[in-house]
């Protein structure tokens, strides 16, 4: 079974530029998550999709971050414009559905450096 | 809100030593609890989980018991190996399907030969 795919793996941009990350979840997984992981901290949920609907985006900085999950499969996360404090690893995860007992499967992450 | 507090690291042990990494969670409801592990250069992966009180999750020699009375889910291993060197994250599921999971800040374990 193929895992969660993410691209790119690394990205370096200057502040005020824009960037986009892509995620392809495990086939058949209804729930998709985007997390931000700052060095030395645990993952913080940015947005959670159930199929192509948003379940939770309470911690997404909506003035600069946006995400979509077209057709309930792939997803993209965009930052525009980026700030220095956005430097982090962005993790995508998926699970069979949004029941709490289901484990999440994580992709390798995208390491973003904003200079 | 829901939170998870994890033992601060880093933790350095010699091979075959006993490992405990403490984890406590806020006691709203009875969430499923997880330990995830991140090996160097890899993504997070599930190590073990427990879905109700008194359940014991186990995998690869690691164990954790869901303790409702102390709101804890401590990770233990009787004899660690160099290959166990990784970052370990405790996590709790949301109470409802509309909630979000919460992760601890991770504990870095280094096992020396």
A58 CB within 8 Å of a chain B CB = yes
Separation CA A101–CA A75 (nearest Å)? 23
Q: Within 10 Å of residue B25's Cβ, how many Cβ atoms? A: 22
Percent of chain A with pLDDT over 70: 99
Residue A12 contacts residue A113 (beta carbons within 8 Å): yes
pLDDT, mean over chain A: 93
Separation CA A107–CA A27 (nearest Å)? 13
Contacts of A44 in chain B (CB under 8 A): 103
User: Which residue in the set B46, B95, B97 is minimally distant from A103, CB to CB?
Assistant: B46
pLDDT value for B27: 66
Report residue A24's pLDDT band, with 50, 70 and 90 as the boundaries.
very high
Please indicate whether residue A5 or residue B41 has the higher confidence score (pLDDT): A5
pLDDT at A67 > cutoff 80: yes
Contacts of A40 in chain B (CB under 8 A): 105-106
A114 burial type by CB count under 10 A (0-12 exposed, 13-18 middle, 19+ buried): buried
Q: For the stretch A9-35, what's the b/e string if a residue is b when 16 or more beta carbons lie within 10 angstroms of its beta carbon?
A: eebebeeeeebebebbbbeebbbbbbb
pLDDT value for A45: 94
Strand, coil or helix: A21: strand
Separation CA B113–CA B28 (nearest Å)? 41
pLDDT tens for each residue of B69-81: 999 999 999 999 9
pLDDT value for A115: 97
């Amino acid at each position: 079974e193929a895992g969660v795919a993410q691209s790119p793996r690394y990205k370096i941009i200057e502040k005020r530029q824009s960037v986009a990350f892509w995620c392809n979840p495990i086939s058949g997984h209804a729930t998709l998550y985007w997390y931000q992981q700052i060095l030395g901290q645990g993952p913080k949920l940015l947005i959670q999709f159930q199929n192509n609907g948003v379940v939770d985006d309470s911690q997404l900085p909506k003035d600069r971050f946006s995400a979509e999950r077209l057709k309930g499969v792939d997803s993209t996360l965009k930052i525009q414009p980026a700030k220095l404090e956005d430097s982090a690893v962005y993790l995508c995860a998926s699970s069979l559905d949004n029941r709490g007992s289901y484990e999440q499967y994580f992709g390798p992450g995208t390491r973003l450096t904003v200079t | 809100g829901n939170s998870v507090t994890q033992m601060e690291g880093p933790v350095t042990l010699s091979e075959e030593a006993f490992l405990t990494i403490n984890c406590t969670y806020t006691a709203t409801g009875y969430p499923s609890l997880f330990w995830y592990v991140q090996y160097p250069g890899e993504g997070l992966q599930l190590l073990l989980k427990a879905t109700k009180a008194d359940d014991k999750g186990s995998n690869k020699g690691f164990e954790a018991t869901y303790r409702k009375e102390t709101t804890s889910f401590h990770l233990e291993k009787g004899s660690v190996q160099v290959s166990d060197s990784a970052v370990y994250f405790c996590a709790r599921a949301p109470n409802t399907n509309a909630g979000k999971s919460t992760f601890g800040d991770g504990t870095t374990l280094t096992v020396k030969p």
